[in-house]
Amino acid sequence: MRNARIRELRAFIRSQPHGITEFDDTLVKHLLAKITIFPEHLLFEFKSGVNITIEK
């Protein structure tokens, strides 16, 4: 199930234009599960299970 979801997300990403320069609501809905805002950093949780922390 997880591998199928990863393949689906990869196909979706490949279908997107390169060099995205503005917010894309559809892309966000396909990729992100949740964004958590902490005082010192942001946590992006992707549907694939990958987490990315951005320090402020």
Segment 16-37, tens digit of pLDDT: 777 778 888 888 888 899 999 9
Taking residue 45's Cβ as centre, other Cβ atoms within 10 Å add up to 14
State residue 46 phi and psi, 5-degree precision: -90, 155
Pick the residue with more confidence: 32 or 12? 32
Q: Which domain holds residue 29?
A: 2-55
Structural domains in the chain (count): 1
Q: Is the pLDDT of residue 55 over 90?
A: yes
State residue 47 phi and psi, 5-degree precision: -60, -25
For residue 15, CA distances in Å to 9, 30, 33, 54 come to 10, 12, 20, 26
Q: Is the pLDDT of residue 1 over 80?
A: no
Instruction: Record the tokens describing residue 11, joined without a space.
Output: 């196909």
